[in-house]
Chains A and B, each alone.
Chain A
Amino acid sequence: MKEIRLLSTSAILGYGFPEASLQAGMARAPHVIGVDGGSVDPGPYYLGAGVPFCSTMAIRRDLRLMLRAAIAARIPLMIGTSGGAGGAPHLELTARLVREIAAEEGLHFRLALIEAEPPRAELQRRLAAGRIRPLGKQPPLTAEALDRASRVVGMMGPEPFMEALDNGAQVILAGRASDPAPWAAAAIRAQLPPAPAWYAGKMLECGATPSIPKGHDCLLVTVREDGVECEPMNPVRRCTPLSIANHSLHENSSPIHHIEPGGMLDTSDCRFDALSDRAVRISGMRWTPASQYTVKLEGVEFAGHRCISICGTRDPLLIARLPLFLEEVRGIVREKAAAFGVGPESYSLIIRTYGLDGVMGAREPVQQVAGHEVGFVIEVIAETPEIAAAVLGIARTNMLHTDFPGRLCREGNMAFPFSPSDIPVGPVYRFSIHHVLELDNPCEIFPLTYEEI
């Protein structure tokens, strides 16, 4: 029976994996190796700022081991959502690391780069043509919002990866891609049906995450016409029907209907069967092609500059009147900032209270501090770093020194762990585009370029 073996090394390029797991995986003669290069999960900053959320030291380490293994075994290496967010600077960073490692290691191959950050004018033209629709509860996209965005990427499906493979690329680095797309591409190109191909991608996109104990490690998935088999490569981990079922729920709004570019993966009738105490077979998935091919657009816009300070109190008298105290501090900040010309409309002051509702915010059902100490992150967001730092300075000083009735420790209310106490965090972004774009050709906004390394 026709089968293809796919080896994913980790959850994200740069999260690391044991070298022994990669060797165990390579010993199973996989047809393709790869890893997901990014995620939208760390938030809007990385897409906006054009930087990765893993260090280049960590990315370089993972890349070097994977490049050596792929070139030695003469199999393709595919990475989607390169550099964390899959924009142009993210893709270029990853390509630079690949070129450097190849030169150091004397490796030669055909490299394909698939871009995912279409020119803004191109997106404006498509918006004007009515081909961009909102997702979920988003408002319709406007030309102004599209202009305002710091960066916009399209999330490609498997087709650009298939084109790169058709053109003989051995190492494929893509910008923003649907997480399962490179894996689905490899399986579909091997003439396997889209349902198990996409399902395999869903399992592989997080490395060994569908196993227990959960960890960043290598997962081998064997795709056949009637299902997929998952097995972690590290002997300390096991895939069980529960661990696979748990992962099948990961980060999706529906557990049974998974919308992808070009169609929907329906997992309602899946079966999870243990093949051994560490491998699981999943069958029964279905694929329904969509009448219109769409890709998701992700975009972020600038929301200000942030400055923070971290402190804590061990004073039971202060903790007992915390809400009142914080309101008083806010009032003093309002007054003093206005005195140097910064009105309340030009900044956001947020005092995060760990030990009360720092984790759940307004959704926290417990309204009483139970512990003996409380931690604070004081945060100001303003249009310029100077305004943010100025307002934060006032907030920090008044968290420290504001008097209250019954106060016994008059030297200060807060313990600050650091000097300097105020930390400029840099620009803040917000997600502003979460829409879909209709395409006539799945590759049309994802240009491919090739390099002989």
Chain B
Amino acid sequence: MPSIRELARICKSKNAGPFDLTIDIVFDDTALYRKVRASGVITEALFARLYGVAADDVLLTPYDAAMAIKATFPRLVPAGGIGDTDVYGCQQHAPLLDVEIPV
């Protein structure tokens, strides 16, 4: 089964302000994007499991115009706070890369 690293053109993480992390998965093919969405794999529950957050704290927004799916949830530690590991939040995407999607 293909994984996100094979299907997506972009899979990235970044701060959305100092308290939240946002993850974007972007496709460049409308049919593929629709299939990924229809697969039901990319859900609040997926991010909750991969990142140890409550599903209720995940804001999941598909953005059809950009063929993208965005998930935003709280950072483990606010950016630059004591114990933070990634001030810019730009290296938190890797657990998603191997998520398999039946398309």
| Residues of A bordering B, CB below 8 Å | 40-45, 135-138, 242, 245-246, 248-256, 267-272, 284, 303-304, 348, 350, 352, 357-363, 365, 381, 428-431, 434
> In the complex where A136-B19, A253-B72, A255-B66 touch, is A361 in contact with B85 (Cβ < 8 A)?
yes
Binary flags per residue of B65-103, CB closer than 8 Å to A gives 1, else 0: 111101010101111111111111001101100000000
Give chain A nearest CB distance to B13 CB in angstroms: 10
User: Could you list 17 A-B pairs, sorted by A, with CB under 8 Å?
Assistant: A40-B79, A42-B80, A42-B88, A43-B80, A44-B79, A248-B66, A249-B63, A250-B14, A253-B16, A253-B72, A268-B65, A303-B81, A348-B83, A363-B51, A430-B81, A431-B79, A431-B81
* Chain A residue nearest to B24 in the complex (CB): A249
Give chain B nearest CB distance to A22 CB in angstroms: 27
Set B17, B63, B76, B87: member contacting A255, Cβ < 8 A: B63
Total count of chain B residues near the partner, CB < 8 A: 43
Contacts of A268 in B (CB 8 A): 63, 65
Contacts of A250 in B (CB 8 A): 14
> In the complex where A363-B76, A431-B80, A434-B19 touch, is A256 in contact with B63 (Cβ < 8 A)?
yes
Per the bound structure, the CA–CA distance linking A284 and B63 in Å amounts to 14
Give chain A nearest CB distance to B12 CB in angstroms: 8
CB pair A40 B92 closer than 8 Å: no
Interface check B59, CB cutoff 8 A: yes
Q: How many A-B residue pairs have CB under 8 A?
A: 137
Give chain A nearest CB distance to B98 CB in angstroms: 10
* Chain A residue nearest to B68 in the complex (CB): A249
5 interchain residue pairs of minimum CB distance: A43-B80, A245-B66, A255-B63, A253-B72, A253-B16
Per the bound structure, the CA–CA distance linking A330 and B31 in Å amounts to 54
Give chain B nearest CB distance to A252 CB in angstroms: 6
Contacts of B20 in A (CB 8 A): 136, 253
- Taking chain A's interface residues, is the majority helix, strand, or loop, or is none over half, making it mixed? loop
Give chain A nearest CB distance to B64 CB in angstroms: 8
Set B24, B67, B74, B81: member contacting A44, Cβ < 8 A: B81
Set A248, A362, A430: member contacting B52, Cβ < 8 A: A362
Contacts of B79 in A (CB 8 A): 40-41, 43-44, 431
* Chain A residue nearest to B98 in the complex (CB): A365
CB pair A360 B81 closer than 8 Å: no
Binary flags per residue of B19-52, CB closer than 8 Å to A gives 1, else 0: 1101010101000000000000000000000111
Give chain A nearest CB distance to B97 CB in angstroms: 11
Per the bound structure, the CA–CA distance linking A44 and B84 in Å amounts to 12
Per the bound structure, the CA–CA distance linking A381 and B80 in Å amounts to 13
Give chain B nearest CB distance to A363 CB in angstroms: 5
Highest count of chain B CB atoms <10 Å: which of A41, A137, A268: A41
Per the bound structure, the CA–CA distance linking A350 and B92 in Å amounts to 20
Contacts of A267 in B (CB 8 A): 63, 65
> In the complex where A246-B26, A249-B63 touch, is A41 in contact with B92 (Cβ < 8 A)?
no
Per the bound structure, the CA–CA distance linking A365 and B47 in Å amounts to 13
Give chain A nearest CB distance to B46 CB in angstroms: 13
Contacts of A359 in B (CB 8 A): 85-86, 91-92
Set A137, A249, A255, A428: member contacting B82, Cβ < 8 A: A428
Set A137, A251, A252, A358: member contacting B19, Cβ < 8 A: A137
Give chain B nearest CB distance to A259 CB in angstroms: 11
CB pair B65 A381 closer than 8 Å: no
> In the complex where A430-B78, A430-B80 touch, is A272 in contact with B22 (Cβ < 8 A)?
no
Highest count of chain B CB atoms <10 Å: which of A267, A358, A363: A363
